[in-house]
Amino acid sequence: MLFWITIKSAMKSLWANKLRSLLAMLGIIIGVGAVIAMLALGAGTQAKVIADLDAMGTNLLMVRPAQRSSQGVMQGTQQNLVVEDALALVELPWVDMVTPVVGGNVQAKYMNHNTYTNLQGTSSLYFTIRNFPIEKGRGFTEEEEERWSRVAVLGPTTATDLFGPNNPLGETIKINGFNYKIIGIMKAKGDQGWYNPDDQIIIPYTTAMKRLFGLTNLREIDIVANEGVDLSAMSGQPQGSMGNQAGASGYYHDVPPGEDTVAGLMRKRHRQQASDPDDVRVMNQADLLARRSQWVTNFRILLGSIAAISLLVGGIGIMNIMLVTVTERTREIGTRKAIGAKGRDILLQFLVEALVMSGLGGALGVLFGVVMALGIPWVPWFSDFAPPLLQAWVMVMAVSVACGVGIFFGLYPAYRASRLDPIEALRYE
């Protein structure tokens, strides 16, 4: 009964000074709201990074040439990947699919429309490997690859740039001055910031190498591993190296990689000595995801830390208000002690007041944070950010921390009130 009387007395005291209580809660409201909104922004960014990597394909290894170096000076990318390397990789027991890739930027024209876009020359497996479903028409076939056919599949953005709302299937466009027939349109994936898969043209790699670019070397070889395969182990280069240990010229091995790994097979095919660095870089999704996830995690910690400062400021505000309250109610405290109230009763009353202010401020802060998070995409400065992702555990954590801050900063004023001498308190003017 005494406990509930104490709580009731605390609530009455807060209600009697509504404006002061609201101002004390304001720091907690802003702090909790900022934490929820900022962590929602970070969570949305992390989810988008993972989705973007998943959109590139699953169980994916990308083999690219390393850079040449002479006496520590980079001299450009090596030209050492050939179609035969891709054919050799197909024979590895853990490999599911392989596709060669060449590419470059091209000028595409249709009547009075033109666009400068990226072109990929690859095999028919590329659409499956990179998870590029065809929405209209079809992809090219192996027979068209063998015949160096001038056929093309467009990304939806490229198709809109050239044809507007019209159907491009069956039409002919000029790519760097040569005619190509449109046989398919890919399904939209959305701009990923650093790479837009919707703005590109895909043609057979044989056509790109022999007819368009006049190349004999590949830019990249994409490999899809069987389910359950350790990509880092099969790459022959440790995760996190990204093909580099001693500069961008390639990875140096203390122990030669196995011949069933990508690095080992490439070293054998390219006739490298044991002391030579790898002349290829093997990148995998686990590596890319780890790097980007670490960046996003650091980003979230930074945002959360900045927002948490508001909680600290809010706690200090509560302490200041509580100290003023103790001073104003000195005679009341003396009266209560004179009629039998113990120090712990006074301590409990003021702690309850601090807890109510911080708890109510935390609840209002959750509402404020949700509104902020939902409103972020409408702010022009944040229009390019990923949509915020609200998480229940963040809200619970923020309110819990707010209550903890209230108790921590309310403890000293409550202790000070409980230690007042009743006679001196009654004499206080």
* Interval 264-311: pLDDT, tens: 999 999 988 888 888 888 887 666 666 666 766 777 777 777 767 777
Q: Three-state SS for 274?
A: coil
Q: Provide CB contacts within 8 A for 161, sequence distance 6+.
A: 113, 115, 117, 199
Q: pLDDT, tens digit, for every residue of 189-230?
A: 877 666 788 999 999 999 999 999 999 999 999 999 888 888
What's the one-letter identity of residue 308?
A: A
The three-state DSSP-derived secondary structure of 371-390 is: HHHHHHHHCHHHCCCCCCCC
Total-model pTM: 0.64
Say what the alpha-carbon torsion angle 265, 268, 274, 279 is, to the nearest 10 degrees. Answer: -70
Is it the case that residue 47 has pLDDT exceeding 60? yes
Spatial separation of the C-alpha atoms in residues 214 and 210, rounded to whole Å: 5
In 3D, which of 84, 13, 35, 18 has the Cα closest to residue 402?
A: 35
- The DSSP line for 47-105 is HHHHHHHHHT-SSEEEEEEPEEEETTEEEEE-----HHHHHHHHTSTTEEEEEEEEEEE
| pLDDT, tens digit, 9 for 90 and up, residues 102-150 | 999 999 999 999 999 999 999 999 999 888 899 999 999 999 999 999 9
Q: How far apart are alpha carbons 247 and 232 in whole angstroms? A: 20
Q: What pLDDT does 149 receive?
A: 95
pLDDT at 127: 92
The separation between the first and the last C-alpha atoms of the chain, rounded to the nearest angstrom, is: 32
